[in-house]
Structure 1
Amino acid sequence: MKRESGRSVRAIALCITLSVGGLFMGFVGTEKVLAVTKSRFEKLELFNKVLFLVESQYYREVDTDKLIQGAIKGMMNTLDPHSAFLNKEVFAKMQEETQGEFGGLGLEVTQKNGHLIVVTPIEDSPAFKAGILPGDRIVEINHESTIGVTLEEAVDKMRGKNGDKITIGVVRENEEGVKNFVLTRQIIKIKPVKYDVVRKNYGFVRLKQFQKRSAEGIINALKDIRKKTEKNGGLKGVILDLRSNPGGLLDEAVDVTSIFLKDGIVVSTEGRDPKNKEIRYVKKSGYKELDVPLVVLINSSSASASEIVSGAIQDMKRGIIMGSQSFGKGSVQTVAKIDDEKGVKLTIAQYMTPKGRKIQAVGIVPDVFVDEVEATWVSENRKESSYIRESDLKNHLTATIETKEEKKRRLVREKEDRKERMEKLKKLKKEKKKDHKNMWMIKYNPSEDYQVLQAVNYIRSFDLFKKMNK
């Protein structure tokens, strides 16, 4: 190990010498390099002294490997929340997650002001089904406080064997006390894409996570939606739902964006040296949806790859971004493999949108702010119109003469409409009485989602203005 470290230091010293101006720079450059190298060796010597003291004088025998790994973790904790040392278990776990199948609770978490915060529960996971919500603050894991626990330590505590139970205690805004959720770890198979047709002509595509073949899933969904809408006049708009999508693979973010853009930049990254930028461009080949109006839904739990896609769509004026301001995770991480079992996740750059906007700690601000409102609340608080219309007046004229048969059918239809409205109202009132857990598990229907319906309205108005300007 010491020999390898020595070679690394010499390699760094050589690189610094070259960057200063070459091997023939002279004594001034060499002195600077030697000063940096000496300073680093002195600091490493300090670490060696402390390690020796602990190994030789601590009242019990210690595991040196454990001490060194602890020191490395401490070093990484001085950086940003997304940089971390990956031990054997964490490294294996990270590789599993990008494949779309892994064991666990299904929680995306972050740390803010020393608190462990839920970014989003992954759909259909144990955490999602139990009713844990974005913004919940995890204060206990198996009845042990999370105060002073690092993000990586907390994640490690939540991991375990499939089938094992774990108790998560959370504090929720505007609610008193600690809510305890008993979860059972399980293999989580994520189907990243769900889709449906809304109002006969509008495609709704929800992407839950950017994992391998996510773009392929969206393409298949769009093709099927086009077939289903053919009989009703064709596809008139697409709603891409990235709400509570925590991100994932950058390559998939580029592929998803490429479906909706003809060409141009998707995202660029700026590292330590602002002059060295990596630019990722739209893929010009493959399936494209360039003509239909597009609305992208985001919220405060839309992060990372979700922000890359929505930022590119917004900058290129391809569609409307709707919802609430996104999470703001705009840093780039790379996983450096140390050996077959361990690695380091390190923040190396920041993402920028095609127009050079930085996402980190800012997020994507939607073009249209639409609050997430429960459909039950909207339906129950909608005012019934009680105005008198021309058709209510006695002996009113009709545009055409209504036959007795037509009148009969009209009255039957109106009676059925009133009955249907009453039944819906009863159902909504009944659902409102259910507890949160049951409400959380009600099958999602985009046709009853307030934000989705607002997206449809915007697309319809866009279509109307386009016809008016012809």
Structure 2
Amino acid sequence: MLRYQMQRFIMLVAILFVMLPLTTSASAEPINEIRQLIKEYYIDDVPESVLSRSTAKEITNGLDPHSVYMTKQEYEAFINGIEQRIVGIGVVLEESDIGIKVISVIKDGPASKAGILPGDIITHVGGTSLKGKSVQAAIPLISGKENTNVSLTIEREKTDRPINMTIRRAEIHLPTVESDMLGGNIGYIRLNSFATDSSKEMENAIQSLSGAEAFIVDIRNNGGGYITAAQEIAGFFPGVEQAFQLREKNKNPAIYPAVHQKQQITGPVSLLVNEYSASASEMLAVNLKEQKAAKLYGANTYGKGTMQSMYAFNDGSVLKMTTARFYSPKGIAVDKIGVLPDVKTKKNDELTTAHYDLLLASLKDYQAFPSLTNVETTKKFTVSMTKEMEWRHLGNKSVQLLEVGGKESSVRIAVKDGKTIEVIPEAPLLSGGKYVLIIHPVWKDKKGNGVKKGIYLDVTVK
């Protein structure tokens, strides 16, 4: 299971780039152009009392919450959010008693190159103590403008004295797609944003999960991005020919196709959503649900079913304006409604529930045994048979222990006697974790008779 987490900016956007460069003086806002664009393209009629306001931001404040006039700097920050670009040193942090602890270090980022390690504790930034400070309070001290320096004091285990280092801040491009292989050959793909390179990263993720028999695609906390990316991502799901329906002002509804991809997701698909899955995420979710291309797990999505178009001006400023509402290809509304999952789950249980259901679906011909509850983290499992067994041919995969929501746990098998073996996990079980112990029907008794049916049982850990 991916343990990598960091705070993410919820963008709440489905964007179509129009980017019409309009002439305006260097010192004045393009008020007249903005008024004209709103009259022609804004999704709803706007009263003159709003259009007659004196500044661009006052006018857009009278529109819906997703329409806004941005300066050049605001626009650049907005696009960086979609593209998962940040400026900093590249660390994931949490609070510690003596400072701020480094949980993970982003590969090839400034911190990685400077030698910062997971487990390091940042005690001071530029001489300012971080003792007792929250991560939110520490981030503004550590981050800053690109190509500027930050001085850190580090406490590290097994070192006698603090480590002082100076790191140059840089732009860091976070992956928009992350992937891992979960236990039971179930591919996990997390899509963080619908960005320019998301379809390419998605293709790479699917290729890296070769051998997956089912997939979990995670769009929790994904606030959207480009509608072109939504079209491309939809094309990875077999049988999905259409992406969404758009309804613009004074135009007939138009259905947009999915962009078919050569690399396809195979097997059953579960899609994870929550209340922060918005906009382009909801485009994908309502589409896959309607076309039965995935089973949705989680909570009702955000309910932002509008698309914004971008209009650029010569001074670098940009008008982001709602110009359409989107629906499923067959016309199911999303705006102010959201997408209802097929399986409602408790918060943060989306992944474990989906994984468990996929595991059980793959074990439909196996017999369920009574669960083991509140076992110790050092638990050893005893398996007893009714006949003398030929244990010499035990294979490595005859017994599997799978963490629900995570990976396969390595186990070794110790023969106790002719009828009994012991399954011993190579590492302690996760406290509070849930596992599935699977015994496959590959064993034979002394007379050469094979076990007719596999078994499985649930295991919960104290």
TM-score range, shorter chain: 0.5 to 0.7
- Equivalent-residue separation in structure 1 for 2:144 and 2:429 (angstroms): 44
- Choose between structure 1 and 2 for higher RCO, CA contacts under 8 A separated by at least 6 residues: 2
The 1:269/1:195 distance shift into structure 2, 3 A limit, reads same
Q: Which residue of 1 aligns with 2:286?
A: 311
Letter paired with 2:185: N
Give, in whole Å, the separation in 1 of the partners of 2:297 and 2:35. 53
Cα pair distance change 1:449/1:92, threshold 3 Å? farther
User: RMSD across aligned C-alpha pairs, in angstroms?
Assistant: 5.3
Alpha-carbon distance between aligned partners in 1 of 2:33 and 2:393, rounded to the nearest angstrom: 92
For 1:293, which of 268, 271, 289 is the aligned residue? 268
Q: Is the 8 A contact 2:82 2:193 kept in 1?
A: no
Match of 1:398 in 2: 386
What is aligned with 1:302?
A: 277
Change (3 A) 1:72 1:10: closer
Query: Counterpart of 1:328?
Result: 303
**Residue 250 of structure 1: which of 217, 227, 239 is its match?**
227
- Residue deviations 1:385-436, cap 9 Å, x none? 8xxxx988xxxx8234578999x9433996563x768x325xx38xxxxxxx
Larger helix share, 1 or 2: 1
The answer to whether the 8 A contact 2:235-2:241 is kept is: no
The 1:366/1:5 distance shift into structure 2, 3 A limit, reads closer
Whole-angstrom distance in 2 between the partners of 1:9 and 1:260: 39
Q: Which one has a bigger Cα radius of gyration?
A: 1
* Change beyond 3 A, Cα 1:323–1:343: same
Structure 1 counterpart of 2:416: 411
* 1:272 partnered with 2:222: no
1:240 and 2:217 equivalent?
A: yes
Task: Give the corresponding residue for 1:219.
Answer: 203
Aligned 8 A contact 1:100 1:212 in 2 = no
**Normalising by structure 1, what TM-score?**
0.52
1:282 to 245, 254, 258: 258
CA distance in 1, matches of 2:315, 2:80: 15
Would you say 1:259 and 2:236 are equivalent positions? yes
Distance 1:319 1:449, change over 3 A: farther
What amino acid is the match of 2:289?
Q
CA–CA distance in structure 2, aligned partners of residues 449 and 90 of structure 1: 45
Cα gap change, 1:196 to 1:84, in 2 (>3 Å):
same
Is 1:88 the counterpart of 2:108? The answer is no
Aligned mates of 1:363, 1:10 — CA distance in 2:
31
Structure 2: runs of 5 or more not aligned: 1-23, 41-46, 91-104, 110-118, 122-135, 138-142, 151-167, 354-370, 376-381, 395-412, 437-453, 455-462
- 1:369 pairs, out of 344, 347, 359, with 344
Given the alignment, which residue of 185, 194, 198 partners 2:178?
194
Partner of 1:19: none
How much has 1:10 moved relative to structure 2?
A: 13
Q: Verify the 8 A CA contact 1:312 1:353 in the aligned structure 2.
A: yes
CA contact (8 A) 2:83 2:173 kept: no
Aligned partners of 1:262 and 1:282 also within 8 Å = no
**TM-aligned CA deviation for residue 94 of structure 1:** 3.1
Could you tell which deviates more after superposition, 89-98 or 204-213? 89-98
Q: In structure 1, what is the Cα distance between the partners aligned to 2:421 and 2:257?
A: 55
Q: Distance in 1 between matches of 2:273 and 2:34?
A: 46
Q: Is the 8 A contact 2:239 2:293 kept in 1?
A: no
Structure 1: 5+ residue runs without aligned partners? 16-38, 48-67, 107-122, 131-140, 143-158, 166-183, 230-234, 430-447, 454-463, 465-470
Question: Structure 2 matches for 1:449-468, cutoff 5 A?
Answer: none
Aligned amino acid, residue 424 of structure 1: L
From the superposition, tell whether residues 93 and 401 of structure 1 become closer, same or farther in structure 2 (CA, over 3 Å): closer
Partner amino acid for 1:315? E
